[in-house]
Structure 1
Amino acid sequence: MKGYLVLDLAINELSGFMEYVQKIPEFIKKHGGRYIVQGVEPELMEGSWLPQRLVVLEFPTKIAAKEFLNDPEAQQLFSLRKATTTSNLILAEGCE
């Protein structure tokens, strides 16, 4: 079953974050992933959760999503994202 990474983020330092934006697609693709939602401002429909920006990535499997997150070559970029944003990230397995 597919794996989905959902990232809720607020950008605190745009110029530093742009390096992440430019370089991370290579690693997403390397692990078979693709953007489903790419940095949009979501519209609140119910409840109180309202991220400033939302990203949803789809991977062929939950394992592939974890491999993306653990890719040693991408760790510097993940550190950059964490330093330039306030974010929450979850992993969910899709339905068949």
Structure 2
Amino acid sequence: MPALVLVEVTIHNPELYEEYKKHTLATIQMFGGRFVVRGAKTESLEGDWNPERLVILEFPSIQAAKNWWASPEYTIAKNIRYQTATSKMLLVESLGPVGG
């Protein structure tokens, strides 16, 4: 069953955050993942949730997402993100492929 990773990001160092973005795509692809949403405009329909940046990733499984997050390749990028932004990340099992 596919899995989604939802990430809310507040960027504190935009220049260095660009380095994080450069490293991330290849690591996601290594584990069969893809971007569903990558920093697109958001609009709150209810409540006061207005993330500065929202990212949604899709992986083939919960385990693939966990393997990506814990991988040495992503750890390099993750450490850059920790220096440049504050984020919240949530892993959730999907009902099926996005758009399917």
TM range (shorter): over 0.9
Contact (CA 8 Å) 1:3, 1:61: kept in 2 or not?
yes
* Residue 83 of structure 2 is aligned to residue 75 of structure 1: no
Residue 66 in structure 1 maps to residue 66 in structure 2: yes
Match for 2:31: what amino acid?
A: H
- TM-score (norm: length of structure 2): 0.91
TM-score of the superposed pair, with normalisation by structure 1: 0.95
- Structure 1 portions without partners, runs of 5+: none
Q: Which runs of 5+ in 2 are unaligned?
A: none
Shift of 1:12: 0.6
- Equivalent-residue separation in structure 2 for 1:57 and 1:82 (angstroms): 18
Q: What's the C-alpha RMSD, in Å, of the aligned pairs?
A: 0.9
**How far does residue 73 in structure 1 lie from its aligned partner after superposition?**
2.2
> Runs of at least 4 residues of structure 1 off by over 2 A?
none
Distance in 2 of aligned mates of 1:56 and 1:74: 16
- The count of residues paired between Structure 1 and Structure 2 equals 96
How much identity, in percent, do the aligned residues show?
34
1:35-50 maps to which residues of 2 (within 5 A)? 35-50=35-50
Question: Which whole-Å CA distance do the structure 2 matches of 1:43 and 1:7 have between them?
Answer: 16
CA deviations 1:27-74 (Å, max 9, x no partner) are: 000000000001123111101221111000000001100000000122
Q: Residue 95 of structure 1: SS of its match in structure 2?
A: coil
* Local SS of the residue matching 1:54: strand
Q: Tell me the SS of whatever aligns to 2:32.
A: coil
Name 2:15's counterpart in structure 1.
Answer: 15
